[in-house]
Chains A and B, each alone.
Chain A
Amino acid sequence: MSEYGNLGVVVVAVDGSEESMNALRWALENLKLRSPTPDSTNAGSFIIFHVQSPPSIATGINPVPAFAAAIEAHQKRITDSILDHALGICSQFNTKVSTHVVIGDPKEKICETVQDLHADVLVMGSRAFGPIKRMFLGSVSNYCAHHAQCPVIIIKGKDVVNKGN
């Protein structure tokens, strides 16, 4: 009975960073989804969400088609390996997960997707650039904390947690 909580859709935003994978692990360990028994209309699920950079950044305004295609293929390979790694983490937990990929600007796309998927909660890591910058939130998590339409959980790095002990 205590296996299940009440969360329907949990969106976990991942990029290539270790912090976002930690956030995914935290979410899988601590967030309890709605149970899949017949009395609840839809069981909860985790959605691993990745925003792929648009090729236009690298190619500029007037890209050579072959070059643009090569960049797109490269981005896709990166996305696939990120999602593979994330799914590898999920396989240790017995829970329903799916993936979702969108191309565009991370901050805006995350907030947009949260709305589209009717997420109950958004989980993200906070990019840490170093001991000083680690005190501050990355701009993506800061933006999403203020603009997402649902509650946002920001997972900080493990060493921040242990600092208190």
Chain B
Amino acid sequence: MATSSDQSEKPQPVMVVAIDESDHSAYALKWTLDYFFNAGNDSVFKLVLVHARPSATSSVGLAGPVYAGAAEVLPIVDSDLRKIAARVADSAKQLCIKKSVNNVIVEVVEGDPRNVLCDTVDKYHASILVVGSHGYGAIKRAVLGSVSDYCAHHAHCSVMIVKKPKTKH
């Protein structure tokens, strides 16, 4: 056994943070950076940000079952979605740089957020997944579905759910 090259023999545990365009996920990222990464690059965890980009076909499909002009619209919708995703990824990266966390991996993956998040956790063997939460009530959750619920159930690692506190009156 050769001499160890660096002190950290153990692989650094990975924290995956889910981001989208909502305020809730920006809040979740900020909270995570404040409480887990305030030592900058010296932190315990390796940070991976993942954004699930909806695919163009699924977005257009919502407009109606048969849409004759779909073929022409798809490339436009696709490039729009790409722009939005790039913006999301960029603003997230800026938040990290502001907190002096520089070696962040940012992934933009096309697909359903539920699966994208769980797959990313598996890919990086993450020890914890952080998701924001829209704070929907039980009915909204049943109708719209809850990504944070799904991930809390199915991710192969610990899950942290960060909710934006309700405004105090």
A positions within 8 Å CB-CB of B:
1-2, 4-7, 26, 30, 32, 120-121, 135-137, 142, 145-146, 148-156, 160-161, 163-165
Contacts and interface: CB of A to CB of B under 8 A. Distances in A.
Task: Give chain B's interface secondary structure class.
Answer: mixed
B9 to A, nearest CB: 16
Interface in B111-164: 121-122, 125, 127-128, 133, 135, 148, 152-163
A1 B42 contact: yes
Given A2-B42, A30-B13, A149-B165, A155 B158 contact: yes
A148 B161 CA distance: 10
5 contacts: A2-B39, A30-B127, A145-B161, A153-B158, A161-B156
Contacts of A156: 155-159
Given A5-B36, A151-B161, 13 more contacts: A26-B158, A30-B13, A32-B39, A136-B153, A145-B161, A146-B135, A149-B163, A151-B28, A151-B160, A152-B160, A153-B158, A156-B158, A160-B157
B31 interface: yes
B13 A154 contact: no
Given A151-B163, A165-B125, A135 B153 contact: yes
Contact of A120 (B35, B155, B156, B163): B35
Contacts of A153: 128, 158-160
Nearest to A7: B35
Nearest to B32: A151
B79 interface: no
The bracket for how many chain B residues form the interface is 20 to 34
B152 A137 contact: yes
Contacts, number: 80
B22 to A, nearest CB: 16
B154 A135 contact: yes
B34 interface: yes
B43 interface: yes
Contacts of B157: 156, 160-161, 164
B156 A151 contact: no
Contact of B161 (A120, A152, A155, A165): A152
B158 A32 contact: no
A113 to B, nearest CB: 16
B38 interface: yes
Contacts of B155: 156
A154 B158 contact: yes
A160 B162 contact: no
Contacts of A151: 28, 31, 160-163
A5 B91 CA distance: 24
B158 A164 contact: no
Contacts of A120: 35
